[in-house]
Amino acid sequence: MEKHIEALLVLLGENPQRPGLQATPKRVAQLLRYLTSGADNSWDQLLKNGLFDSMSQEIILLKNIEFSSLCEHHILPFIGHCHVIPQGKIIGVSRIPRIIDFYARRLQIQEQLTTQIAEGLMINLNPRGVAVIMEAEHLCMTLLRSEKQHARFQTSAMLGLFQDDTEKRNELFHLLNTSPITDKRINDKN
């Protein structure tokens, strides 16, 4: 990969031997490998001893979890936050960012990422419902626009009772707008 990145620098009219660029191919290769390493993990690892049933009918929101991924059209980041609601299951809060990274650390499209997280949770947790809402700024859009306005996109996926039960879905959107648990950031320290 490093050889190809060095060739890319030449195609960009650069001299890869100048001091500022000497370590660049290695750095870019390492970063790209890290940012596409999601599939190295597995659902078995992600859920190990971290899952509990919840009898509660109340909606438990995991709000404003930060995430980043790579747009597969331009290999540039999109960065934002998401809300994840696995209704009927309680999952350790440190697990959710790792589950997001499992799908986000690949070349992605935001809509597909949102659906994959929701479907992955639905299949592997078997909850009564799953809602995933993601909002992100796409650097490819922001950089290409002459006015440099921040382009933000929102995507959502609703499965199970959030798909079938209009009342439950309305309750969810009401909570997202008014919940006192605002801006709860979850840091994955591990």
Which residue number, 140 or 186, has a Cβ lying nearer to Zn ion?
140
Stretch that binds Zn ion, among 58-66, 70-78, 79-87, 155-163 (CB under 5 A): 70-78
C-alpha torsion angle, residues 62, 137, 163, 177 (rounded to 10): 60
- For residue 76, the minimal CB distance to Zn ion (Å) is 6
Which residue number, 10 or 75, has a Cβ lying nearer to Zn ion?
75
- For residue 128, the minimal CB distance to Zn ion (Å) is 35
Tokens (6 digits) for 1:
């990969």
Stretch that binds Zn ion, among 57-65, 124-132, 133-141, 163-171 (CB under 5 A): 133-141
51 binds Zn ion (CB under 5 A): no
113 binds Zn ion (CB under 5 A): no
74 binds Zn ion (CB under 5 A): yes
3-state DSSP of 56-98: CCCCCCEEEEEEEEEECCCCEEEEEEEEEEEECEEECCCHHHH
- For residue 110, the minimal CB distance to Zn ion (Å) is 10
Burial code of 3-37, b = ≥16 C-beta within 10 A, e = fewer? Answer: eebbeebeeeeeeeeeeeeeebbeebbeeeeebbe
As a whole number of angstroms, the distance between CA 177 and CA 164 comes to 21
- For residue 22, the minimal CB distance to Zn ion (Å) is 29
Where does this chain bind Zn ion (CB under 5 A)? 71, 73-74, 140
